[in-house]
Amino acid sequence: MTSTKNELAPAANAGAVTIASGNIANFLDANRAKIAERCAKLIDPAKLTRICVQLINDDKSGKLRQCTQESFLAALLDCLSCGLLPTHGRGQLIPYGSEVKFQIGYQGILELAARAGITAKPYLIFEEDEFDWTAGTDEAITHKPNFKAKRTPETLIGAYVVAAYPDGTKRFEVMTKDEIDAIRDRSKAAGNGPWKTDYLEMAKKTVIRRASKYWPIKYDFDAAIEGDFEANETIDAEFTASAVNPSDLFLLYANRIDRAKNLDELEGIGKQIAEGFDASTPARKAELDQLRGLFADRKAEFGNPRS
């Protein structure tokens, strides 16, 4: 997903009108052509304007009204570029000072996964639950929640995601509370915001975000989550080839090839595959051949004159 901040920069410089001091409905209507380009398959622009006005009216804190109209539009366009509407839990428009930022909610990630044929569901593990995770080639999870015990941030011990793929296979991602808190502590808003008010929901979002790295989602939503986590580079370091189950490597690299934004990034991925993909078995060699084919096709799309 390419941020729309730059394309709106001239308007922002011309006059930073806040939502409170202007008419957001008229402003969005004046930019209907830009909006229509992004939401043609999602919703009628007029109905979208009504949703946005209602979103602002429902903001009891009043912080959205103090943001600029231009930043609201930029965040809205980024939300629509991800194929999501600006609704709670999916495409969230969050005020940061005088600017609105788009953040994808965990329900939004699950919605995009569903469009790719993946059914995923997050679960929280608490102290008095019965939980057993068998890792390895026959991975399995048994979880019996104890709803009579306290289910609070203080009693949380971990979270996991079960993802069912179109071919019937299931994959799991499990995180301990310490791992979740390590992600939280790298966030700029570790001591406030949703980490303070909605910790359990953020725990779900964290494990979903980690699991989604292996899903073939067409939209690049990393930038949308950057508002929750301090830097993509910090988070992405957790998903190096050495940390991934070998059975997931093919999906991981295929997804990265598909989401490469330019030739340089694609060639960097090719180098990672050459150095990190183990093709020592016939099955892995077949997967490597498929990756090479995907790489060649993607390279041709960039119009590389050396192809």
pLDDT at 2 over 80: no
Long-range contacts from 239-248, C-beta under 8 angstroms, 24+ separation: 239/210, 239/213, 240/276, 241/272, 241/275, 241/276, 241/277, 242/276, 244/214, 246/278, 246/284, 247/137, 248/171, 248/214
pLDDT at 146 over 90: yes
Give the model's pLDDT for residue 74.
92
pLDDT (tens digit per residue) in 218-266? 554 544 444 444 333 333 333 333 334 455 566 667 767 876 778 887 8
**How far is residue 234's CA from residue 236's CA, in Å, rounded to a whole number?**
6
pLDDT (tens digit per residue) in 86-96? 887 788 898 88
Amino acid of residue 162: V
- Map tokens 């901040």 to a residue: 5
CA-closest candidate to residue 162, choices 181, 139, 144: 139
C-alpha separations of 50 from 43, 56, 86, 88, 123 in Å: 11, 10, 11, 15, 34
Share of the chain above pLDDT 90, in %: 27
Give the model's pLDDT for residue 248.
53
Structure-token pair, residue 305: 């004159």
Q: Report, as an integer, the average pLDDT of 281-304.
A: 80
Q: Report, as an integer, the average pLDDT of 12-27.
A: 77
Confidence band, pLDDT 50/70/90 cuts, at residue 134: very high
**How far is residue 176's CA from residue 304's CA, in Å, rounded to a whole number?**
44
